[in-house]
């Protein structure tokens, strides 16, 4: 009999940032494979609607935990709320940025909130939920990161830095935990067709259709299914790449040239999101 998601990792999964977009796609993918899910996000109405949809379509148990993952006590609260569950898969998908902006054009509190959500959050989640996985000898952690992690770039200072943190954290944990039965995957995404991307574009005065050719945007369902199929193929999976387990697309470029190339890309595509 083929190994299932639950037999390999455990009966429950958590999706941080699970109300819509890539996070919701992960939750549906996990549920379709028989895993019960905990959805974590800030907006209770959207969270509950997503949970009801998953229950109706897949017949699994679903819990919701309404949290702002940038709040200092968020991961402690999530740990308490799920203390009775054996969590075998944790997907940290929160942490998109609604638009690329010059560093000094965002206030300091906005930058610090991003760092708490994108760096402190995944580190604490990995520590709190990874420890029981390591003790049991099975489990998986997915940290969703971005192509902005490959190099610095104008208008991407804080966002790119936090996503580089996530990428290195995932790769390092993979190296530490791989021999003990715990898979870790740093999932690198480009621009993805999500509600947050659409909202960001409309807020700046343009219809979604003008954003890009639909073929330029990744489909959240395909992103999630591909990642779930390759949880054991870490440390890094680059969605949409011809060599998804390969290295930076900048290859052997000098760092200065990579930064200039990233800056040109940020200027051409000024609105970015990963979830």
Which pLDDT band, with edges at 50, 70 and 90, does 101 fall under?
confident
Q: Is the pLDDT of residue 168 over 70?
A: yes
Q: What is the pLDDT of residue 5?
A: 95
Considering the candidates 9, 92, 127, 159, report the single residue annotated as catalytic.
Answer: 159
Q: What is the pLDDT of residue 206?
A: 53
Q: Given CA atoms 128, 43, 184, 63 in this order, what sign does their dihedral have?
A: positive
Q: What is the pLDDT of residue 108?
A: 96
Residue 1 lies in a domain: no
> For this structure, is 159 an active site residue?
yes
User: Looking at residue 148, which CATH number applies to its domain?
Assistant: 3.40.50.720
Q: Is the pLDDT of residue 139 over 60?
A: yes
pLDDT by residue (tens digit) across 71-84? Answer: 999 999 999 999 99
Residue 4 lies in a domain: no
Residue 21 lies in a domain: yes
User: Residue 59, by phi and psi: left (phi above 0), alpha (psi -120 to 50) or beta?
Assistant: left
Q: What is the pLDDT of residue 214?
A: 53
Mean pLDDT of the chain: 89
Q: What is the pLDDT of residue 52?
A: 97
Q: What is the pLDDT of residue 46?
A: 92
DSSP-based three-state secondary structure for 96: coil
Cα(265)–Cα(248) distance, integer angstroms: 15
| Residue 120 CB contacts under 8 Å (≥ 6 apart), including other chains | none
Q: What is the pLDDT of residue 266?
A: 72
| Residue 221 CB contacts under 8 Å (≥ 6 apart), including other chains | 25, 28, 29
Q: What is the pLDDT of residue 218?
A: 78
Q: What is the pLDDT of residue 1?
A: 40
Q: Which residues pair with 184 in a beta bridge?
A: 141
Cα(101)–Cα(267) distance, integer angstroms: 10
Mean pLDDT check: name the lowest of 76-80, 87-91, 143-147, 203-207. Answer: 203-207
pLDDT by residue (tens digit) across 190-245? Answer: 885 555 555 455 445 555 444 545 557 879 999 999 999 999 999 999 999 999 99
| Residue 83 CB contacts under 8 Å (≥ 6 apart), including other chains | none
DSSP code, position 84: T
Our measurement of the distance from residue 184's CA atom to the centroid of its chain's CA atoms, rounded to an integer in Å, reads: 13
Q: Is the pLDDT of residue 49 over 60?
A: yes
Q: What is the pLDDT of residue 271?
A: 43
Q: What is the pLDDT of residue 265?
A: 76
Residue 3 lies in a domain: no
Q: 190 or 183: whose pLDDT is higher?
A: 183
Contact call for residues 126 and 169 (beta carbons, < 8 A): yes
Q: Is residue 183 reached through a cis peptide bond, with omega within 30 degrees of 0 on the bond before it?
A: no
Q: Given CA atoms 131, 134, 140, 146 in this order, what sign does their dihedral have?
A: positive
Residue 273 lies in a domain: no
Cα(67)–Cα(213) distance, integer angstroms: 34
Q: Is the pLDDT of residue 273 over 50?
A: no
Structural domain of 135:
9-268
Q: Which of 7, 20, 62, 57 is nearest to 37 (CA)?
A: 62
Q: What is the pLDDT of residue 9?
A: 98
Q: What is the pLDDT of residue 198?
A: 54
Q: How many helices (H) and strands (E) does the chain have?
A: 10, 7
Q: Given CA atoms 93, 122, 167, 139 in this order, what sign does their dihedral have?
A: negative
Other beta carbons within 10 Å of 76: 12
Domain count, the chain: 1
What average pLDDT does range 166-180 have in this prediction?
97
Tell me the percentage of the chain whose pLDDT exceeds 70.
86
Q: Is the pLDDT of residue 104 over 50?
A: yes
Contact call for residues 245 and 174 (beta carbons, < 8 A): no
Q: What is the pLDDT of residue 61?
A: 98
């Amino acid at each position: 009999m083929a190994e299932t998601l639950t037999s390999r990792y455990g009966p429950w999964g958590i999706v941080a940032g699970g109300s819509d977009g890539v996070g919701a796609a992960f939750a549906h993918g996990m549920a379709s494979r028989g895993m019960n899910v905990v959805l974590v996000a800030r907006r209770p109405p959207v969270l509950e609607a997503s949970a009801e949809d998953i229950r109706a379509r897949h017949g699994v148990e679903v819990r919701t935990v309404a949290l702002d993952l940038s709040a200092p006590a968020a991961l402690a609260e999530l740990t308490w709320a799920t203390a009775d569950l054996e969590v075998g898969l944790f997907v940290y998908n929160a942490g998109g940025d609604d638009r690329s902006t010059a560093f000094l054009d965002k206030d300091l509190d906005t930058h610090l909130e991003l760092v708490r959500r994108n760096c402190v959050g995944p580190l604490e989640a990995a520590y709190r939920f990874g420890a029981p996985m390591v003790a049991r000898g099975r489990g998986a952690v997915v940290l969703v990161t971005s192509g902005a992690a490959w190099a610095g770039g104008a208008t991407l200072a804080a966002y790119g830095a936090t996503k580089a943190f996530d990428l290195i954290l995932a790769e390092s944990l993979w190296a530490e935990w791989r021999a003990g039965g715990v898979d870790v995957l740093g999932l690198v995404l480009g621009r993805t067709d999500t509600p947050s991307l659409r909202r960001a574009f409309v807020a700046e005065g343009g219809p979604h259709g003008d954003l890009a050719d639909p073929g330029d945007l990744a489909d959240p369902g395909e992103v999630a299914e591909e990642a779930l199929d390759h949880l054991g193929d870490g440390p890094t999976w680059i969605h949409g790449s011809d060599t998804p387990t390969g290295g930076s697309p900048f290859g052997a470029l000098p760092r200065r040239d990579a930064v200039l190339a990233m800056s040109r890309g940020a200027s051409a595509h000024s609105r970015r999101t990963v979830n």
